[in-house]
Amino acid sequence: MKNNLLHPVTIESAAPEVRATLQKVQAELGFVPNLMATFANSPTVLHGYLGLDAAWEQGSFTPVERQLILLAVSVANDCGYCVAAHSTVLKAFLKTAPEVVSAVRSGRPLENARHEVLVKFAKEVVNQRGHVSEATVQAFLAAGYTAPQMMEVLLGVALKTISNYLDHFNPAPLDAAFAAEAK
**pLDDT for 67-90, tens place per residue?**
999 999 999 999 999 999 999 999
Q: Output the average pLDDT for the chain.
A: 97
Domain boundaries, the chain: 16-57, 63-181
Predicted pLDDT of residue 183: 83
CA–CA separation, 140 and 160 (whole Å): 20
pLDDT confidence bin for 36, thresholds 50/70/90: very high
State residue 16's pLDDT score: 96
| Residue 1, pLDDT above cutoff 70 | no
pLDDT single digits (tens) 52-71: 999 999 999 999 999 999 99
Q: Is the pLDDT of residue 125 over 90?
A: yes
pLDDT tens readout for residues 105-123: 999 999 999 999 999 999 9
pLDDT of residue 132: 98
pTM of the model: 0.96
Question: With helix as H, strand as E and coil as C, how does the chain read?
Answer: CCCCCCCCCCCCCCCHHHHHHHHHHHHHHCCCCHHHHHHCCCHHHHHHHHHHHHHHHCCCCCHHHHHHHHHHHHHHCCCHHHHHHHHHHHHHHCCCCHHHHHHHHHCCCCCCHHHHHHHHHHHHHHHCCCCCCHHHHHHHHHCCCCHHHHHHHHHHHHHHHHHHHHHHHCCCCCCHHHHHHCC
63-181 is classed in which CATH architecture? Up-down Bundle (1.20)
- Residue 31 above 80 pLDDT? yes
